[in-house]
Amino acid sequence: MRYADIYKLINVEKPKTINVVFPNSKPVYEALKVATDKGYIKTRLYGIVDNINKFSKETSLNNFTIIKSDSPDEAIKNAIQDIRDGKGDVLMKGDIATASFLSPVLKRDTGLRKGELLSHVAVCDTPGYHKVLFVTDGAININLDIDKRRAIANNAIEFVKKIVKPPIKIAFSAIIEKLNEKIPETIETDKLAKEFTKKGYLAEGPIALDVIYSSLAAKKKKIDSKISGDVDLIIGPNITTANFLLKHMLYIDEADVGGIVMGAKVPLVLLSRSDNSRAKLNSIVLSLV
């Protein structure tokens, strides 16, 4: 499975509607144009009318609806309400602070809250690995405990199931494979790996990155692994490690990447200012699967 295969999963007969909150950068419009031209999406743009007309003209984006919103706060409020009213299948972040984008989503009465927490799932197509690799959570959750790790894993699995045939191979990662009370994630990942194995997944943990990537590394370390060298999903030990892993694949391996946020009633496209138009397009496509 590569990104080219993921693109083939999109149903162009029934394009989904994407609500874009305060779009004010050319790469966003470039990604929207490609997705629109391919028949993937219908677009609703929430922002300042003059800015939207300017960027859409520069990028030749057509066939969109403008919902006048004079501020990011107004834009996110309008976009969420429209989704609640059935006018939108995906919520996409534009030129709005991440906290300002996510906070209204999490409101129980007026937002789009569904699960225990929101978490980011990245999809990496790197030349150094034989298939797409899913990594979570390198963007949102900072202080993890076993309950948050479980929720993060459940969010990711919900998405991975749409792309990967079972059984899904899950690596609850840590710096070492041995249990060490001084490294809490080794204890928690051991418990979670056993828990998710009982649910029917091929889950292992704690498992270090070299064993995740290489069955040869597992043999050298005398680790009996059923997933080494063929992992689908990496549950990162913390946000820093997961984020560093993603950026290494992006900038050093020149991986094709994208990502979405799970845990809400609809997929959330949460983009970084440094993302290029290809990463933005990939993220849009992932939200449509």
Tell me the sheet residues that pair with 43: 18, 64
Cα dist from 161 to 42, 94, 197, 201, whole Å: 25, 28, 16, 11
Q: How far apart are CA 199 and CA 203, in angstroms?
A: 9
In the prediction, which pLDDT does 255 show?
A: 94
In the prediction, which pLDDT does 220 show?
A: 96
Per-residue pLDDT of the chain (289 residues; tens, 9 = 90+): 999 999 999 999 999 999 999 999 898 999 999 999 999 999 999 999 999 999 999 999 999 999 999 999 999 999 999 999 999 999 999 999 999 999 999 998 999 999 779 999 999 999 999 999 999 999 999 999 999 999 999 999 999 999 999 999 999 999 999 999 999 999 999 999 999 999 999 999 999 999 999 999 999 999 999 999 999 999 999 999 999 999 999 999 999 999 999 999 999 999 876 777 788 899 999 999 9
Q: Would you list the domain boundaries of the chain?
A: 3-114+264-288, 122-251
Q: How far apart are CA 40 and CA 13, in angstroms?
A: 9
3-114+264-288 classified as CATH 3.40.640.10: no
Q: Is the dihedral of CA 63, 66, 71, 74 positive or negative?
A: negative
In the prediction, which pLDDT does 72 show?
A: 96
In the prediction, which pLDDT does 212 show?
A: 98
**Burial of 91 per CB tally in 10 Å (0-12, 13-18, 19+):** buried
122-251 classified as CATH 3.40.718.10: yes
With contact defined as beta carbons under 8 Å apart, do 202 and 196 qualify? no
For residue 152, give the 3-state DSSP assignment: helix
pTM attached to this predicted model: 0.94
| Among 80, 74, 143, residue whose Cα is nearest residue 108 | 80
| Among 174, 170, 182, 93, residue whose Cα is nearest residue 139 | 93
In the prediction, which pLDDT does 276 show?
A: 77
| Among 232, 254, 127, 98, residue whose Cα is nearest residue 171 | 232
**Can you spell out the DSSP letters for 91-146?**
EEE-SS-HHHHHHHHH-TTTS-B-SS--EEEEEEE-TTSSS-EEEE-SSS--S--H
